[in-house]
Structure 1
Amino acid sequence: MKKIFLLIAVVLGIAATKVNAQDQPVRFGIRAGVNLADWQGETMTSVTDLIELSDGAVSRSMREGFHVGGYVTIPVLPGFEIEPGLLYSQKGTRITGTLPIEQVDFLNARVNITNKAEYIDLPVLAKLYVADGLYLFGGPQFSYLVSNKVKVQAGALGFNALNREWDMKSGFREFDTALTGGAGYQFTNGLNLSVGYDHGMSTVDQNGNFNTYNRVVKASVGFTF
């Protein structure tokens, strides 16, 4: 965490020097929204192949979550800004299994296994305005894994026979890196809307044995003061 806060201080210090030279105000904002997260890579490709062999009895889906936090918008040039932020963000993936037996379809027996990864994200974004209010953004993102749990739910006929959660942080990479980018619109009253995509560059497991990476689609609502 010390490395993350040191990086924030360096970015803000460099950008603030440029801002003072141009006498433009630094603005602060808050942001929240929804996440659709998944894992991708060689290991998940193997899982997908296994799913196809199971005739659909097992399926993958994105984990729904959210993100919330704040940011600092630092003008550098007309139409160009640097925007570091600090966000709490939920990631992971979900696998659902059902009994592939027609005779017991009426039971609706299924098992849900959800990886619930919770991160602190530090995106450092470059924002380029391409029209009035409309902007593109992109840059690196550094993340710290706060917790990682696996939740298993199993049941039939709408009743849960099993609903347990285990701490699985051990063996997972503590610091993650990603490239993030997207587009947004800034209204004159301070409200802004954006959609983005996080492309993980570090394997989720600490030793890199599984070649699996975080992928997150995000939709956000923010307000710049």
Structure 2
Amino acid sequence: MKKLSIILMAIVIVAFATNVFAQDKPYYFGLKAGLNMSKAWGDDAEDESYAMGMAAGVAMGYHLHELFDIMPEVMFMWKGSKSEFVEEGFYEGDITWKLYYIDINVLGKLKIPMEGMISPYLVAGPYLGIKAAHGWSSDPEIPEEGGEALDEVLDEYLKSTDFGAVLGAGVDIMMDNGHMISIEGRYGIGLANLFDPMPVDETTEEEMDFKMSSITFLVGYSF
């Protein structure tokens, strides 16, 4: 009986200490994944529509204030855009650009005070995108020479980096063990042209006004 009492007391002490540590530590780590819808915007992106992709990554939060965190993230982002392409006698259909980036975000997280387990918040900050891979698809299938031209454009003129800003909102759901489940929606707007200037003729190059925007829905787990 005495041994049982000691074991129970030890369990209570460890549980209490773990809970205190979870509440007092100034940082947390998290995993995030979800759906990404993106499309190009700009003067040269008039006939663009959303392309579906995915997002996943890791985050770290640091408590600067009870209502404000700084939250760096590294996210794999499957971005793209669907272009309506019409050239009589050659091809008429949709071309989907598939652009894969590693986005490095540095976000501020403003928590909205609320009693209970649910805590709403706002996030905002810049991002830097590093190109990881690229590709395309077409519906119906584009002729071979058209596909070769698309490959050339992506291989030679797609920039290796992108940058922009992120703005979003979500809720944290606190768990008994001090961990959190988060549900979040965010909007990202690219501020850089995706392509280097392309040749118009033998002596002239022209830069396309073709930037990326995205709407992302994420579910996360932080500990």
After TM superposition, the score normalised by the length of structure 1 is 0.71
Q: In structure 2, what is the equivalent of residue 114 of structure 1?
A: 96
CA distance in 1: counterparts of 2:92 and 2:209, whole angstroms: 28
SS of equivalent residue, structure 1 residue 27:
strand
Q: In structure 2, what is the equivalent of residue 130 of structure 1?
A: 112
1:1-225 aligned at under 5 Å gives the runs: 24-45=25-46, 48=47, 60-96=48-84, 111-132=93-114, 133-154=119-140, 167=151, 168-189=154-175, 190-207=180-197, 209-225=207-223
Q: Deviations over 1:157-205 (max 9, x none)?
A: xxx999x796423211111111101101000021100000011011101
Measured after TM superposition, the shift of residue 149 of structure 1 is: 1.4
SS of equivalent residue, structure 2 residue 140:
strand
Amino acid at match of 1:41: G
The 1:211/1:110 distance shift into structure 2, 3 A limit, reads closer
Measured after TM superposition, the shift of residue 26 of structure 1 is: 1.2
**4+ aligned runs moved over 3 Å, structure 1:** 96-100, 164-167
CA distance in 2: counterparts of 1:95 and 1:44, whole angstroms: 8
Q: Deviations over 1:66-102 (max 9, x none)?
A: 10010001100111000001010011101246899xx
Amino acid at match of 1:194: E
SS of equivalent residue, structure 1 residue 170:
helix
CA distance in 1: counterparts of 2:92 and 2:157, whole angstroms: 28
Measured after TM superposition, the shift of residue 152 of structure 1 is: 2.1
After TM superposition, the score normalised by the length of structure 2 is 0.72
CA distance in 1: counterparts of 2:63 and 2:157, whole angstroms: 40
Aligned residues: 177
Measured after TM superposition, the shift of residue 153 of structure 1 is: 3.0
Q: Deviations over 1:141-164 (max 9, x none)?
A: 011011121222316xxxx999x7
Amino acid at match of 1:43: D
Gaps of 5+ in 1: 1-22, 49-59, 101-108
Amino acid at match of 1:27: Y
CA distance in 2: counterparts of 1:116 and 1:127, whole angstroms: 30
CA distance in 2: counterparts of 1:203 and 1:99, whole angstroms: 25
CA distance in 2: counterparts of 1:170 and 1:71, whole angstroms: 33
Superposition CA RMSD, Å = 2.6
CA distance in 2: counterparts of 1:116 and 1:214, whole angstroms: 12
CA distance in 2: counterparts of 1:99 and 1:143, whole angstroms: 32
Contact 1:154 1:161 (C-alpha < 8 Å) held by counterparts: no
Contact 1:149 1:169 (C-alpha < 8 Å) held by counterparts: no
SS of equivalent residue, structure 1 residue 43:
coil
Contact 1:29 1:70 (C-alpha < 8 Å) held by counterparts: yes
Q: Which segment drifts farther, 140-149 or 199-208?
A: 199-208
Q: Deviations over 1:33-85 (max 9, x none)?
A: 1011000001113xx4xxxxxxxxxxx42110010010001100111000001
Amino acid at match of 1:187: I
The 1:122/1:99 distance shift into structure 2, 3 A limit, reads closer
SS of equivalent residue, structure 1 residue 87:
strand
